[in-house]
Structure 1
Amino acid sequence: MISASETDNPASRPPSSAPARTLAALAATALALVAAFVLAPGPLAAATGPRGDFGSQQALGNAFGKAFVGYWNSGDPHFPAGLQSIVDYWFRYHVVKAAAASALLAVLIAISVLLRRSAGALVAILAIVAAALAMANIQGALAPFSSLLPMLPTGAPRGDLATAVVQIREHLAHYPNQGGPPAPAVKVMVDDFGVYHAVVAVATSLIAVVLITLSVLSWKRRAQRGMIWFGIVFTLSAIAVLVVAAANIATTADPAPALLAFFQGSW
């Protein structure tokens, strides 16, 4: 028989399965969020706006290319209705991705805290990847027009797009000193490109501060099992993020050369 004293002794009780169940639930949630990140943005972006689903990235790129040429030829700083609908769709698309990536980051941090040891360091690496995905999609949501630009075949444009790209290169090569005010569309593109990189500059600077703090704390506790792995991961990640932050701060200060490099096909 089990005595009353043995029953009251916490050491004699069987271990709780709560952490294992919590980890299983968090792992399932992480997998669901990965699936949502990949599969949900297109349908949700299409369902929450007036513009229907484009069906594929190629179809979206083709629609954007035509709308972009029309915008450039209009001479108006304001997006025409067709281009605005594409930009709005792309904004919603990135909002969904950013939400999924941010939720995934929170879940991975929780798993890493529960694991604590070397396996936790591996999950911490995955959390850093999730943070990068969240940052990239927040960037896309805050500057959706610039986020769409990589869909243009600027390296080898054809037809009306080729003409537009040549003209844009000429304007950007002397921006903003062109003997007169810059073309309205060029100013819009330069300003939006600056915002596009400013978002990353701010986000990476904040992430760098967090990573440096975690790195210092990990190295101080390196005697504890598994903490040295956290120290290595956080230190290397902090260095990489600082490099990205510096590059984006420089581009934010003067976005025109980087935008010119993009339209020359070398960005």
Structure 2
Amino acid sequence: MSTTTPTTTAPGPSRTADVPVRAVTVLAALAAALVPAFVLAPGPVAGSLSGGGYGGRRELEDRLSASFVDYWAAGERGFPPGLRGVVDYWSRYHLVKAVVAALLLAVLVALGLLLRKAYLRAGGLTAGRRAALASAGAAVTALALFSLAMVMANVQGTVAPFSSLLSMLPLHAPHGVPAGTLEEIRRQLAAYPDGGRTPPPVEVMVSDFGRYHAVLAVAATAVALCAAAISAVSWRRFAAAASDRRTRRVLRSSGLLWALMAAAVAVIAVANTATTADPAPALLAFFEGGW
């Protein structure tokens, strides 16, 4: 008598087989670690690199205010040691933030791509899990855009730390810049560049302020061009994906998002290009309390 060995059927693929759980978990953990690092690491690291840090914002403001008044009174282009120390610290502070923000952006982009791929292949998942994937992808996209903005802003502060520091000057506080000094600065900026001999500190401030906005103009232009290119590719793929509703939905959303981003960042680029060409009026508006 012959016996037949019962055949065993291999288990079917898991409903989460197309979701790379381990990779998503690792990337999410990295992102979760980089967020507090972005907030907490820059001060101590910048302090160690520049030979000393500051106990808090008030201490930094006090040191900045006193050294800025000394710089104005000296009337020279070069920063005195006190102001040079503050500027060097602030440049390193923004450099650390820019590096951490760039790492966070890279992690979020990788995580977003994984979630998008998983969503497009989520035919075997329940509607609830597909919705969870879509929500997670939207949240990661929003965080990635915020990280991109932080990269741009902190590169700006790294390249032109003096202008970045000006926004921290306590102009109207009792411990701030004296009213007489502010009035002299306003008068010189109002007459710049046709008011005769311009004090060297004014020339430095105007030049650095132009550089500050030039950095953002260049960065915003590059981002706008990249966003426009991604939008164009998304729309082209949208037109080619005639039969896949889920793919078309994702590509349509991507095309709209990147088109809107390109337009918004282009406005920022144009505004900063205009300020770069003539920075003195915007700098005067700051010292007059206009922004």
Query: What TM-score does the superposition give when structure 1 sets the normalisation length?
Result: 0.90
Q: Against the structure 1 CA distance between its residues 13 and 143, is the aligned structure 2 distance closer, same or farther, given a 3 Å change threshold? A: same
Contact kept, 8 Å, 1:215 with 1:235, in 2: the verdict is yes
1:55 equivalent in structure 2: 55
- Same amino acid, percent of matched pairs: 50
Q: Against the structure 1 CA distance between its residues 174 and 219, is the aligned structure 2 distance closer, same or farther, given a 3 Å change threshold? A: same
Contact kept, 8 Å, 1:112 with 1:124, in 2: the verdict is yes
The CA deviation string for residues 164-206 of structure 1, in whole angstroms up to 9 with x for no partner, is 1110100010101112x31100000000000000000000000
Say which of 254, 260, 264 aligns to 1:240: 264
Say which of 170, 180, 183 aligns to 1:153: 170
Contact kept, 8 Å, 2:211 with 2:276, in 1: the verdict is yes
Alignment of 1:25-174 (within 5 A): 25-50=26-51, 52-116=52-116, 117=119, 118=134, 119-154=136-171, 161-174=178-191
Structure showing greater radius of gyration is 2
Q: Against the structure 1 CA distance between its residues 2 and 58, is the aligned structure 2 distance closer, same or farther, given a 3 Å change threshold? A: farther
Counterpart code for 1:235: A
Say which of 161, 166, 187 aligns to 2:203: 187
Task: For residue 232 of structure 1, report the CA deviation from its aligned partner.
Answer: 2.3
Q: Flag as ranges the 4+ runs of structure 1 deviating above 6 A.
A: 1-4, 156-159
Say which of 267, 270, 274 aligns to 1:250: 274
Task: For residue 235 of structure 1, report the CA deviation from its aligned partner.
Answer: 1.7
2:251 equivalent in structure 1: 227
Task: Report the secondary structure of 2:150's partner residue.
Answer: helix
Q: Against the structure 1 CA distance between its residues 157 and 219, is the aligned structure 2 distance closer, same or farther, given a 3 Å change threshold? A: farther
Counterpart code for 1:198: A
Paired residues, what number?
Answer: 261
Task: For residue 237 of structure 1, report the CA deviation from its aligned partner.
Answer: 1.3
Say which of 228, 232, 244 aligns to 1:216: 232
Q: Against the structure 1 CA distance between its residues 159 and 143, is the aligned structure 2 distance closer, same or farther, given a 3 Å change threshold? A: closer
Q: Distance in 1 between matches of 2:6 and 2:187?
A: 88
Q: Distance in 2 between matches of 1:262 and 1:157?
A: 18
* Structure 1 unmatched runs, 5+: none
The CA deviation string for residues 55-96 of structure 1, in whole angstroms up to 9 with x for no partner, is 111210111011000000001110000100010000110010
Contact kept, 8 Å, 2:69 with 2:177, in 1: the verdict is yes
2:244 equivalent in structure 1: none
Q: Distance in 1 between matches of 2:103 and 2:177?
A: 42
Q: Distance in 1 between matches of 2:234 and 2:172?
A: 45
Task: For residue 12 of structure 1, report the CA deviation from its aligned partner.
Answer: 5.3
Q: Distance in 1 between matches of 2:35 and 2:113?
A: 20
